Amino acid sequence: MNRRAALLALLSATVAACAPTTRAKIGPDGLPLPQIYRIAPDGQDPVMFHFLDGMNALRKAAGVAAVAYNAQLNAAAATHSRDMAIQNRPWHFGSDGSSPLERARRVGFPGRIMGENISETYETELQTLAAWMQQEDTRSVVLDPSVTVIGFAWYQEPAGKIWWTLVTGR
């Protein structure tokens, strides 16, 4: 019986090794071209949960308290993500010159804005969070111990580019 199980395992491994593999397409610079990460309209909840879980895991590892979503800050982040796409540039000011503080006030957030991270990418929410952790200025926004609430949102263009916004507050 053990012999039959071993033979079956060997056969399964052989068949698995024959499965086709997909290779990343390589650009003229020799680096892999970005893969489009599509967020389905009904796939928003998993993205939100993945990001919050990832951010809180990083905060816990740094000895910082967990954060929670704030609906008003989520709305401010969504507005800014769409506005950056319209402007076709990642920056902290709205097309009307608004700052993160002004956008939070517009949606009725009564607290204090502590920071904002933005990104223009084809990467997932966790890859974007990891990229923010690699830079001191954006890492400090993620790990700020005075932050208690966050807003997180994105806008995905039809071609696949994603404009991410994280707003932190207390």
pTM of the full predicted structure?
A: 0.79
| pLDDT bracket for residue 21 (50, 70, 90) | very low
Strands (DSSP E) contained in the chain are 68-69, 113-121, 149-156, 162-169
CA distance linking residue 119 with residue 129, whole number of Å: 10
Bridge pairing between strands 162-169 and 113-121: antiparallel
Instruction: Find the angle CA(75)-CA(116)-CA(81) to the nearest 5 degrees.
Output: 45
Amino acid occupying residue 3: R
The pLDDT of residue 35 is above 50: yes
The pLDDT of residue 3 is above 90: no
Cβ neighbors of 10 (< 8 A, separation 6 or more) are none
Compute the average pLDDT of residues 121-148. Answer: 96
Lowest pLDDT segment from 6-10, 52-56, 67-71: 6-10
